Structure 1
Amino acid sequence: MLNQPGGQPGSAAPANAAAESTATLTKESPPGASNGRPPAGRAAGGGRLRALADLRNLSLVGVLAVLVAVGGFTKPNEFLTTDNLQLVLTQASVIGVVTVGMTFVITSGGIDLSVGAMVALASVWATTLATQDFGLGGILMCAVLVGLGCGLVNGVLIAYGGLVPFIATLAMLASARGLALHLSDGKTQVVTVQPVLDLGLPDAYVLGVPPLVMIFALVTVVGWLVLNRTTFGRRTVAIGGNPEAARLAGIDVRRQRLMLYLLSGLCCGIAAFMLIVLTGSGQNTNGNLYELDAIAAAIIGGTLLSGGRGTITGSVLGVLVFTTITNLFALNNLQSDIQQIAKGAIIVAAVLVQKGRTNHEG
């Protein structure tokens, strides 16, 4: 009997089924794969990628060490104080939570330009007088629900409406900012709920660690576990690398994208609550340029802008780098425009490095 393509001698499988099997292997498996088994060298390739990730993270740690040294040299009596280091970590916590959600979105091949506006809307809505009547729980729940609601709209428009992520989230950026301005009437809404304010006081610190930093640490750990140790994380990477191959492999790409934008909205809601605790108020200007900072931190941390690869650890290190730079500029009385130029230069450099590595790996 004749051998069927991709089958065993004597196989009675229809020719079209065998062709589909061969096509699937050709599309989803690298050259050298046989009978669905990993090809020789794949483990070595994975080890090489891990080595590159470790090197990148070590590089970011080195950059942080240099920044700390610069701060200690230029402002030894201000930068290295406990209060300033707590301030840096607290400021990094808010944008850090947003960046965790952004990392998932970018890893999937998407983008979310509305994160800053969602933080603003959630912070304003959660600090209205009607919401404050429900106390700390009401403020937290409102912030999270508003973030989830915005993420749901983004996800539905992108996953089921067919809109490009750039356009959908840009529309959300404008709408959420406008609604935040309308709700607040352009005024700062002061929080009068004492338990919320108490979370930002030194008395609430645990072993010298602010509660907001602990929330950031918890979100980071959960994000790392989800991205690296769950099916949800593997699906996120898969649709970022090749959406069509992921669909053929049985992944519901649309539902996965919806869940990812819901996750981004959830992170924005949590960050909005943290910002309320930090500032004791809600403003329509909250979260300004958060989208820039979150995308930049994820990119310099090693998350591939085109999707298919993401790292929570690198994103967190990227957040710490940018927050430390901001703190150094403030302590040395340098203008904010120079700070923005420096951030832009870092982003360009990170993208160029990514491009070079991608070409090398290809």
Structure 2
Amino acid sequence: MLAGRGGSVTELASATTAPAAKTTWWRDDASEPVRRNLGLTGVLVVLVVIGLSTAPNTFLTGGNISNILTQASAIGVITIGMTFVIIGGGIDLSVGSLTALAAVWCTTLSTQSFGAGGMVFTAVVVGTVAGAVNGVLIAYGRMVPFIATLAMMVGAQGLAEKISNKQTQVVNVGSINRLAANDILGIPVLVLIFAVVTAACWVLLNRTTFGRRTVAVGGNAEAARLAGINVRRQTVLLYALSGLCCGIAAIMVVAQSNAGSSGQGVLYELDAIAAAIIGGTSLTGGRGTVIGSLLGVLVFTTITNLFILNNLPTEVQNIVKGAIIVGAVLVQQFQPRELFRRR
């Protein structure tokens, strides 16, 4: 038998081929989203405890819970679209302006003359087309996503102001005005719309080829191209999906305010990006979950609700949100699984 400095050939072969020690499920990389979602659920529990302590008579009432979910609906739909874009390796700074543009365009007098169906169709088409333009500029114009969507943000905002002449456009279509006030089995319609969009996008991300291609493109675009994925087309579709979500959110915003204005959607892009990051979506692409983004939206909306109930200033609320975003990014930089691997 041959022997070397480290032992016999047989011993070396057995050491090389020995199976790696199995790790418990919660230390495995695949369980990282589960751990993060459980952590976010814990944060929500803490916020509920704070709410019960600071506003015991109002926080956990049915009306306030319904209000939290309703306020989370429009920004939640936008966040779902943003999640797909970030997982795909991009960023979309134009979602707030696209929401305002879709809201203004669908509330013009000529559009309202076609009724609720015409308004919904217009908002969805405007959002989707504008989002697709973002995708074309990035995929075929080879523009950096930050610059392309920044240009769209400015341009869409200007177009919304031009169409509305910087005036608020009152909605006269009764079915749209009643949308935010209606409920089904006690659940607000806007919350149901948010739930349907979330469920559909969860299936799209986790159970379809489109979702797998999104993760692949965001993880390594060149490897995805070599694997036969049309990276450019996928990029256009991702931004079109984000625009579609903006169009849906525009109808929800219009229903809540009974009007369309170029001022709607201000800073929505920051809220959406922040909620997606809090939910575990990696800014470098290739990783993220719809459920995590949902929980991120609920965390931010609940914080906002607590500040309102306790009459705390908006500037303090923004400081807290900024600190949460920084903390979430730091957590992404120093993943707990690296610590688990050392043990």
TM-score (norm 2): 0.90
One-letter amino acid of the structure 1 residue matched with residue 89 of structure 2: G
The residue aligned with 1:22 is none
The residue aligned with 2:228 is 250
One-letter amino acid of the structure 2 residue matched with residue 215 of structure 1: I
The residue aligned with 1:128 is 108
One-letter amino acid of the structure 2 residue matched with residue 345 of structure 1: A
Q: Are the structure 2 counterparts of residues 77 and 161 from structure 1 closer, same or farther at C-alpha, using a change threshold of 3 Å?
A: same
The residue aligned with 2:242 is 264
One-letter amino acid of the structure 2 residue matched with residue 53 of structure 1: P
CA distance in 2, matches of 1:67, 1:358: 23
Aligned partner of residue 184 in structure 2, secondary structure: coil
CA distance in 1, matches of 2:194, 2:65: 15
CA distance in 1, matches of 2:325, 2:179: 34
CA distance in 2, matches of 1:125, 1:41: 60
Size of the aligned set, in residue pairs, is 323
After superposition, residues 75-94 of structure 1 pair within 5 angstroms as 75-94=55-74
Q: Are the structure 2 counterparts of residues 86 and 240 from structure 1 closer, same or farther at C-alpha, using a change threshold of 3 Å?
A: same
Q: Are the structure 2 counterparts of residues 358 and 295 from structure 1 closer, same or farther at C-alpha, using a change threshold of 3 Å?
A: farther
The residue aligned with 2:43 is 63
The residue aligned with 1:350 is 328
Show structure 1 runs of 4+ deviating over 2 A: 39-47, 358-362
One-letter amino acid of the structure 1 residue matched with residue 72 of structure 2: A
Task: Give the one of 110, 114, 117 matched to 2:90.
Answer: 110
Structure 1 residue 49 displacement after superposition? 2.3
What do the CA deviations read for 1:97-147 (whole angstroms, capped 9, x no partner)? Answer: 000100000001100000000000000110011111011001100100110
One-letter amino acid of the structure 1 residue matched with residue 159 of structure 2: L
Task: Give the one of 133, 142, 165 matched to 1:185.
Answer: 165
Is the 8 Å Cα contact of residues 26 and 35 (structure 2) preserved in structure 1? no
What do the CA deviations read for 1:190-229 (whole angstroms, capped 9, x no partner)? Answer: 111001112122xx21121000100100000111111111
The residue aligned with 1:73 is 53
The residue aligned with 2:3 is none
The residue aligned with 1:294 is 272
What do the CA deviations read for 1:166-186 (whole angstroms, capped 9, x no partner)? Answer: 000000000011111111111
Task: Give the one of 229, 248, 252 matched to 1:274.
Answer: 252
One-letter amino acid of the structure 2 residue matched with residue 275 of structure 1: V
Q: Are the structure 2 counterparts of residues 127 and 207 from structure 1 closer, same or farther at C-alpha, using a change threshold of 3 Å?
A: same
What do the CA deviations read for 1:13-45 (whole angstroms, capped 9, x no partner)? Answer: xxxxxxxxxxxxxxxxxxx9xxxxxx9899999
User: Do residues 167 (structure 1) and 152 (structure 2) align?
Assistant: no
One-letter amino acid of the structure 2 residue matched with residue 169 of structure 1: T
CA distance in 1, matches of 2:26, 2:87: 17
Structure 1 residue 317 displacement after superposition? 0.1
The residue aligned with 1:144 is 124
CA distance in 1, matches of 2:24, 2:212: 19
Aligned partner of residue 250 in structure 1, secondary structure: coil
